[in-house]
Amino acid sequence: MNISLKNKFDSIIFDLDGTLWDSTGNVAKAWQKAKEQVDYVTDDFSQQTIRSITGMTYKAIFEKLVPYLTEEKRNEFKALAAKYELEILHNEGGELYPELEETLKYLLTKYKLYIVSNCQNGYIEVFFKISGMNHYFSGHQCYGTKSQPKAENIKDIINDHNLKAPVYVGDTMGDYDAATKAGVPFIFAAYGFGEVNEDQIATIQQFKELADIL
């Protein structure tokens, strides 16, 4: 990749799923376990199912996957799925992308690092526990905190930490849209779960490429 974005930013905000790690296998296991505890969910949850909805808010995910449930039943199942998700990930975690820590260590010498994800409360903390990489990040925000759109959470990180020139790294159109609405340039992680063919400022095929271009 020939593009260079060095010395253009003061901070990097990362998506989590599909950008820093892949937890879809164990999330599928957790949601399938939740399904087996009730008699009103008809469909199974595969890893491919989880990958298809990664990046969406929890509310939107279950509206899409179990549209036939009443809101009461959907919220009941969502809470059960969330419970098992944190339990299983707490013990088994997700798959960290290659050279994640080495790249974060390098980036930290030049930038402040943050995470903004559409996940539930406690999920980023599980990532920190499993990876041991919490000390690389100056802050984080998730959908579960205020139930607000990702663009607003990006803006909160920018305002709360007085960032002047952030860049967002994510793997889905939802990430691109959120960064764009927040007025932040976007780098597409093509190794993740989505496709983005817009005006992203760069595309990376591996996480470690960030060290080359930033």
Residue 161 sits in a domain whose CATH number is 3.40.50.1000
- 133 & 189 share domain: yes
N-terminal to C-terminal alpha carbon distance within the chain: 12
- Does residue 153 lie in a domain region? yes
Instruction: Provide the number of structural domains found in the chain.
Output: 2
Cα–Cα distance measured from residue 48 to residue 124, given in angstroms and rounded to the nearest whole number: 22
Q: Looking at the structure, tell me whether residues 172 and 192 fall in a common domain.
A: yes
108 and 39, same domain (yes or no): no
Domain extent, residue 41, equals 24-92
The pTM (predicted TM-score) of the whole model is 0.90
1 pLDDT more than 70: no
Segment 37-83, tens digit of pLDDT:
999 999 999 999 999 888 787 888 999 999 999 999 999 999 999 99
Rounded Cα distance, 77 and 62, in Å: 9
Q: Are residues 17 and 103 in the same domain?
A: yes
Examine the domain organization and report whether 209 and 198 are in the same domain: yes
**Residues 84 and 100 reside in one and the same domain:** no
Asked if 51 and 193 count as a contact pair (C-beta separation under 8 A), the reply is yes
Q: Tens digits of per-residue pLDDT, 170-212?
A: 999 999 999 999 999 999 999 999 999 889 999 999 999 999 9
If asked whether residues 69 and 123 sit together in one domain, one would say: no
Is 109 in the same domain as 46?
A: no
Does 158 lie in the same domain as 65?
Answer: no
